[in-house]
């Protein structure tokens, strides 16, 4: 599995470099730098806004079982994204790293495992809704009917898969994951007392809180929508403003393309190619679309790098405490 991820990462990096060279590397670099330090800082800083809503969605789901402060989830959510963006984990390492950080902050293992399962499901479902929003706006725009057809075909494939995933949870998928993951969750605080309970029951107890699920889902949808602000800001500082509707289309379908290529770490090359293809529907030069995508990459590196460094400091302190206090586990229990 790891070898496959490393190969995918190498291919993604190679594809990104090839796209940059083909598009004219010097022109792309000049375009990126044309927005200046203020523009880059604005795009990087704005990303904190949608992250607040995404962290809130996870917090809301977990709060009935662990009434903690919001900022614990903000830190865990930033780490989730950092691991997925910067490490070859096929979008699986980030959620586990975020769960571990919560447990290091005192969260019990079972509620964290259950809330993570529910939160990921709601996040995927909300992304599907966001993709439909983008398709609808693209259809109303009328400039790219062929792109609408392609998007509809892709969504027709993705939609049933998402629905099947949700239904599979009801008929026993969580039981299977519960049995397979118990050993793994022991090091995340999933101790023997909690192991006697059912992750399946905990997950469906969370789903049974319909008001909480609705709020969490709504926060996830808002997170996706607000993410379009990053694209709007990038194009504004690049000197080629786009409308809010255009930014929403680019973000929704761009994210859908990246998610479809989840085996490629951080969607390397896939994101860049997707934005170039989508940008042509609005008459955007490839160099401009690529510059916008690379600006998003700068944000990933800045946010992710700081988060990964902070995580290592936390893990280092925890490891030092374990060495000082015999009988302690890696989770401090």
Residue 329 lies in a domain: no
The pLDDT of residue 192 = 42
What letters, b where the CB count within 10 A reaches 16 and e where it falls short, cover 217-256? bebbbbbbbbbbbbbbbbbbbbebebeeebbbbbbbbbbb
Residue 331 lies in a domain: no
Residue 288 lies in a domain: yes
Greater confidence, 249 or 198? 249
Q: 45-59, 102-116, 310-324: which range is least confident on average?
A: 310-324
The pLDDT of residue 94 = 85
Residue 252 lies in a domain: yes
pLDDT at position 108 over 70: yes
The pLDDT of residue 179 = 52
Q: Which two tokens stand for residue 288?
A: 């401009």
Question: 53: domain range?
Answer: 2-324
| 53 confidence band (pLDDT: 50, 70, 90) | very high
Residue 333 lies in a domain: no
**What is the Rg, in whole angstroms, of the alpha carbon atoms belonging to the chain?**
21
The pLDDT of residue 5 = 62
| 267 confidence band (pLDDT: 50, 70, 90) | confident
Mean pLDDT to the nearest integer, 277-300: 90
pLDDT at position 190 over 60: no
Residue 8 lies in a domain: yes
Greater confidence, 219 or 279? 219
109/121 Cα distance (integer angstroms)? 19
DSSP secondary structure of 209-272 = -HHHHHHHHHHHHHHHHHHHHHHHHHHHHTT----HHHHHHHHHHHHHHHHHTTTSGGGTTHHH
Q: 1-10, 97-106, 176-185, 187-196: which range is least confident on average?
A: 187-196
Could you give the number of structural domains in the chain? 1
The pLDDT of residue 182 = 55
Mean pLDDT to the nearest integer, 250-269: 80
The pLDDT of residue 6 = 65
> Taking all residues of the chain, what is their mean pLDDT, rounded to a whole number?
81
What does the pLDDT look like over 167-178, one tens digit per residue?
555 555 555 555
pLDDT at position 213 over 80: yes
């Amino acid at each position: 599995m790891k070898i496959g991820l490393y190969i995918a990462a190498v291919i993604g990096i190679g594809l990104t470099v090839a796209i940059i060279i083909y598009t004219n590397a010097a022109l792309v670099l000049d375009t990126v730098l044309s927005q200046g330090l203020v523009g880059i800082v604005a795009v990087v800083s704005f990303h904190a806004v949608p992250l607040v809503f995404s962290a809130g969605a996870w917090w809301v789901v977990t709060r009935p079982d662990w009434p903690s402060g919001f900022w614990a989830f903000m830190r865990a959510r930033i780490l989730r994204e950092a691991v997925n963006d910067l490490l070859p984990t096929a979008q699986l390492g980030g959620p586990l790293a975020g769960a571990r950080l919560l447990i290091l902050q005192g969260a019990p293992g079972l509620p964290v495992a259950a809330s993570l399962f529910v939160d990921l499901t709601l996040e995927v479902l909300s992304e599907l809704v966001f993709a439909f929003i983008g398709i609808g706006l693209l259809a109303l725009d009328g400039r790219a009917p062929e792109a609408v057809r392609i998007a509809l075909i892709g969504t027709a494939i993705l939609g049933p898969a998402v629905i099947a995933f949700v239904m599979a949870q009801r008929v026993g998928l969580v039981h299977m994951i519960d049995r397979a993951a118990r050993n793994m969750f022991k090091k995340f605080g999933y101790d023997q007392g909690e192991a006697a309970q059912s992750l399946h029951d905990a997950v469906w107890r969370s789903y049974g809180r319909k008001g909480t699920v609705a709020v969490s889902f709504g926060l996830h949808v808002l997170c996706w929508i607000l993410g379009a602000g990053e694209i709007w800001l990038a194009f504004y500082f690049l000197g080629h403003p786009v409308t809010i509707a255009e930014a929403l289309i680019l973000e929704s379908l761009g994210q859908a393309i990246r998610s479809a290529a989840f085996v490629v770490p951080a969607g390397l090359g896939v994101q860049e190619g997707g934005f170039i293809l989508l940008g042509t529907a609005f008459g955007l030069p490839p160099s401009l679309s690529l510059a916008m995508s690379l600006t998003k990459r700068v944000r990933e590196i800045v946010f992710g790098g700081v988060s990964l460094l902070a995580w290592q400091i936390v893990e280092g302190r925890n490891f030092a405490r374990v060495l000082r206090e015999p009988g302690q586990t890696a989770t401090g229990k």
